[in-house]
Chain A
């Protein structure tokens, strides 16, 4: 077997001939997909942390309504937290911005911008993304988008406070923060547009010789379908954003119905608009967005499971077809978020039918991943633990979604904590666990050093336990009928009284979840400088090109010292009769 060893050797030879770019070009306005991937990773992790902090403040208010926030209460400002007690408006801002930041600035940029950028070109044997300049621009549109969002906290009236869904008419008449939210979204949408064009072009055009579609690692497939979703689903939200900006700045009434009365006064607008129009446009994006959140996670988990069970994925082809079908169907289910808007039973029936259909490919993918474990000699490495934790957590998230997808059962559950529990199980114990798995898995590829296993396992157990402490009680509260987005966590409602004590449990869970991240932060920074050096480029004995054909870290210009040729499928582990335990994609002869 001749792969990483001779791939690493000519590294310095080719490198020496290149003109070295200066600091700014190399690390700030870099056009190298690896640097951009790391930029995305660092920025999005910071945003994830910030969004998490917003939620921890909210959880104080929910656990102890009306009591001053300790430690940081006085820092929040008299306008938002008089005497350290959160104002209802500020609570709403925190909620809206938590959602926005986690989804648009945290998870998607990490899953797509960071992992996609770093790993996809390496896995397909490409020297870089197809459009390096666009790649740089994509990151530098994401940053101002994020900064505008952060700056909106200092706008008069605070940040956007109409929820991350920004439903009109409320959002049309909200304070300036909402305008900044819309502007920020325009930047983020443009960024993701450039990114998705780049990803699709890269995957279709820059595949190495011999890398046919059915030889693509599943992660690449997941990123390809994700890119299509971003490409086609985001523009309608951009359109909706433009219309809402017109409503707010030019006085139009796209989303304002006639005869609207605000605070006892008729609103001085022409009227004739439709608040439902926003919901349709918004969910036309936001449902595919759910799959944007989950598909890259499934891709990461698939890579790690194949690698650590030392056997091929069960039903690779079915997984690929299921993913494509899932991507297509995700455009036809959006109005299941709107069963209670009075669209009518015929439309409800249509959307609940499509929703039940789309659950099939999701179940296929998840089942295939579970079945991949069957008979494998599993290596319980840290990334594998996170990947294994992902499976049941995402399963809970997916299955609890079914009652929400049926219009009859959605009626009592709509807008309760049940919904919050459901989508957090998909995104937090689901996607975020998978993202952590990805960080542990590809960390040696990026830095040339491994992360500490003991700290990693501490991080895993703390995270999975406290995530469940935070989110499981939400189902209990939701089934009891407690509404979401309540400033006092439901204390004013008699029907919430029997389940109110869970608020404290969830809040403590959330703060403990923060404590459980300390091993990760320590591990992350310590491993960059002091982690165990990887001697072999192929740390995990993997078959895919990023491990088998490129050194760790990869060659600065062009990734590969020798452009790889692909001879086989992505997961040839434990091939019967082969001399080695695994055969990388770029190895020609058997064993």
Chain B
């Protein structure tokens, strides 16, 4: 039994199944982070005082992390483009880079967390620290989730290239859409938490 439109595009919707699926999943993710950002706004508006992010958080490190994550989005696109041009070794390199940039992001993030803990700044300190740790923590989990997928597609999952190249290319595209979303969330998180 074959599921229709698993690989090929359905003419009237213009999508293959997984691509529609990932967009729907991302819509739900938008609602998740949307709810958290709304909570942030509500808590901040109600608070008698609210610290400016840059007085507590490390803006240079976060700026570096923004660059790391944006670069990883670029390498992700390159890995997909490489597959589209049937260059498997180039795909391996770009996808590997994407994974390493993800690792880099997490390392920098852990330095940031470590510095906060060293100053005894925990989520229980105040509402600002609470929302900071919750939002960045949840974003970090999303990064880890993406890295697991990317790692799989780089390693054992890439065997599919030999048997079903088109389907494998689709998988990389779908993983890429998710990865860009994770990137996008950070692009909102960064100014909201660190700069405003």
Contacts and interface: CB of A to CB of B under 8 A. Distances in A.
Decide whether A and B are members of one complex: yes
B35 A240 contact: yes
A204 B23 CA distance: 13
Interface string B1-41: 11111000010010111101100110111011111100100
Given A128-B1, A197-B25, A240-B35, A205 B15 contact: yes
A222 interface: no
A490 interface: no
Which 9 A-B pairs rank lowest in CB-CB distance, beginning with the nearest?
Answer: A251-B124, A236-B35, A252-B130, A235-B32, A239-B35, A235-B31, A558-B1, A272-B127, A250-B123
A181 interface: no
B28 A232 contact: yes
Given A239-B39, A240-B35, A270 B5 contact: no
Given A193-B28, A274-B42, A281 B17 contact: no
A174 to B, nearest CB: 18
Interface in A246-273: 246, 250-254, 269-270, 272-273
A589 to B, nearest CB: 25
24 contacts: A130-B3, A130-B21, A131-B18, A131-B21, A201-B17, A205-B4, A205-B15, A206-B4, A231-B31, A232-B31, A235-B32, A238-B35, A243-B36, A243-B134, A246-B130, A253-B124, A253-B127, A253-B130, A254-B43, A269-B124, A270-B124, A270-B127, A270-B130, A281-B39
A127 B4 contact: yes
Contacts of B31: 231-233, 235-236
B1 A197 contact: no
A110 to B, nearest CB: 22
Nearest to B48: A272
A246 B133 CA distance: 10
Interface string A105-139: 00000000000000000000011101110100000
A456 to B, nearest CB: 34
A200 interface: yes
Given A201-B21, A204-B13, A272-B127, A238 B1 contact: no
Interface string A178-222: 000000000000000100111011001110000000000000000
A284 B36 CA distance: 13
Given A206-B4, A242-B134, A252 B124 contact: yes
Contacts of A571: none
A193 B31 CA distance: 12
B20 A272 contact: no
A515 interface: no
B152 interface: no
A234 interface: yes
Nearest to B30: A235
B28 to A, nearest CB: 5
B19 to A, nearest CB: 9
B47 A252 contact: no
Contacts, number: 129
B20 A127 contact: no
Nearest to A199: B24
Given A206-B3, A251-B123, A281 B35 contact: yes
A193 B24 CA distance: 10
A205 B127 contact: no
B126 A200 contact: no
B138 interface: yes
A277 interface: yes
A488 B175 CA distance: 55
B1 A127 contact: yes
Contacts of A132: 3
Given A240-B35, A277-B39, A252 B134 contact: yes
A496 to B, nearest CB: 37
Interface string A277-302: 10011001000000000000000000
B117 interface: no
Nearest to B47: A272
A557 interface: yes
A251 B131 CA distance: 12
A253 B16 CA distance: 44
Contacts of B111: none
B179 to A, nearest CB: 18
B3 A196 contact: no
B8 to A, nearest CB: 11
A232 B27 contact: yes
Q: Most chain-A CB neighbours within 10 Å: which of B2, B3, B5?
A: B3
Nearest to B31: A235
A274 B131 CA distance: 13
B5 A206 contact: yes
Given A235-B28, A251-B124, A201 B3 contact: no
Contacts of B2: 127
B46 interface: yes
B93 to A, nearest CB: 30
Nearest to A556: B1
A213 to B, nearest CB: 10
Nearest to B138: A242
Interface string B114-155: 000000001111110011011000100000000000000000
A254 B127 contact: yes
Given A201-B21, A253-B127, A284-B35, 13 more contacts: A130-B17, A134-B21, A197-B25, A206-B5, A231-B28, A235-B28, A236-B35, A239-B33, A242-B138, A252-B130, A254-B130, A277-B39, A281-B39
Contacts of B133: 246, 250
Nearest to A247: B130
Nearest to A557: B1
Contact of B126 (A193, A205, A272): A272
